[in-house]
Structure 1
Amino acid sequence: MGLRVLCLGLVLLGVLQSQAQDSTQNLIPAPSLASVPLQPGFRADQFQGRWYVVGLAGNAVQKEKEGHFTMYSTIYELQENNSYNVTSILVRNQKDQGCRYWIRTFVPSSSAGQFTLGNIHRYPQVLSYNVKVTSTDYNQFAMVFFRKTFENKQYFKITLYGRTKELSPELKERFVRFAKSLGLKDDNIIFSVPTDQCIDN
């Protein structure tokens, strides 16, 4: 009896592990950085300030499981060396409440509008982290591409930023088209639910 229960437990554990691996094993391949557009004549000073995350698309995003997510904001502060201090402000989950702050540094890379993660050694499982501003008009919207290699898997996402919490259907549609041009499907694209909690702090 005890042996049968142990065997059943091992089988269930194996099923759970394979399901967890399936969710990341079937990742849509990340595009090469060279194939992702870059905002021409990027102006770092005009890009700084607060952006609201209106949309998110990525090879680890699953609309079916996540549905909508609560909007958060990201503030880019330009430093003298042309890097950005980047602070994202998120609403903690309903249970914890309060606000969460995530701070990192984006260091300029080979081209204006392209960055890498500063102090990457502080994240031992992150082997590479690239950021590319693909398009922006600076005062209304921006689309930013992120690609990271984490534990030997390549993840990528595109963030649709807005200077306000609402963007036009045309801009959202443009974002969807861009995400799909990189191989993503409808299930990999989600839009946020605006909130007044935390993200205007």
Structure 2
Amino acid sequence: MAAPCSLWMALVLLGALGVLPAPARASEQPGFQLDQFLGRWFSVGLASNTKWFREKKHLMSMCLVVVAPAAPEHGQGVLSLTTGFLRKDKYETLSVLLTPTDTPGHYTYPSPFGGNTQDVWVEETHSEYALLYSAWGAGESSFHLATLYSRTETPQDAVKDKFTAFTAAKGFPKEDIDFLPNTGKCMEGHQ
């Protein structure tokens, strides 16, 4: 059984768990361009400060993520982020609504479990990749996640190096970083 991946599925699975000391805060992306963030992505890299992630990362695989404008009734600038993943060998999707803040590239979204609002920063976008950072909670119960989205299933080494440097700058040790294998299975339901 392949475990779910991607920023959003990792958030669902990791949100209620205990964590290690928190890495660095997010930073604003100068000149954030929404059009570079929209579209189809592959979630190819993750880093998390949780013990659970270290224990389960070998089970995770690459997933497909689609970012699109949400329906108008959700509000101006709201995005829909849909992740496709396998759970118990069955293809599933999870969608969340990202509400923009006053800071370009900074969004909030309700926890899939309800009760709290979480933050995600699109810290860098490029035609080939996007670097995201998410955090919630405070002190010993804080949670931090970095994600690498790629337009291709096989990002260039320079893109992987960029993610490794990004996660190091956020305070993630090497053992907290994973480049997700492409099993091909999570793409089947999104063709």
TM-score bin, normalised by smaller chain: 0.7 to 0.9
In terms of mean alpha carbon deviation, does 176-185 or 60-69 score higher? 60-69
Counterpart in the other structure of 1:52: 42
What is the rounded CA distance, in whole Å, between the counterparts of 2:112 and 2:48 in structure 1?
Answer: 24
Show the counterpart of 1:19.
Answer: none
Q: Is the 2:123–2:132 Cα contact (8 Å) retained in structure 1?
A: yes
CA distance 1:122–1:175, shift in 2 (3 Å): closer
In the other structure, the counterpart of 1:97 is 89
Specify which structure has the bigger relative contact order, considering alpha-carbon pairs within 8 angstroms and separated by 6 or more residues: 2
CA offset at residue 122 of structure 1? 6.3
Percent sequence identity over matched residues? Answer: 25
Partner of residue 198, structure 1: 186
- 1:132 and 2:121 are equivalent in the alignment: yes
Corresponding residue for 1:85? 80
The answer to whether structure 1 residue 168 and structure 2 residue 156 are counterparts is: yes
Q: Please tell me whether residue 184 in structure 1 is matched to residue 175 in structure 2.
A: no
Compute the TM-score of the two structures, normalised by the length of structure 1. 0.74
**Residue-by-residue CA offset, 1:93-148 (whole Å, 9 max, x unaligned):** xxx31211111100001211110115x59612x3x3111011111x2101011112
Aligned residue pair count: 167
Alignment-derived partner of residue 60 in structure 2: 69
Distance 1:78 1:172, change over 3 A: same
RMSD: 2.3
Equivalent-residue separation in structure 1 for 2:56 and 2:80 (angstroms): 32
**Cα shift at 1:189:** 0.3
Give the gaps of 5 or more residues in structure 2: 1-16
- Tell me, in whole angstroms, the C-alpha distance in 1 between the residues paired with 2:96 and 2:104: 19
CA offset digits 1:55-76 (Å, max 9, x no partner):
0011116446532621112111
CA distance in 2, matches of 1:192, 1:52: 10
Partner of 2:107: 115
Q: Measure the CA separation in 2 of the matches of 1:153 and 1:39.
A: 26
Q: Which structure: larger Rg? A: 1
Unaligned runs of 5+ in 1: 1-22
Contact 1:49 1:75 in 2 (8 A): yes
TM-score of the superposed pair, with normalisation by structure 2: 0.78
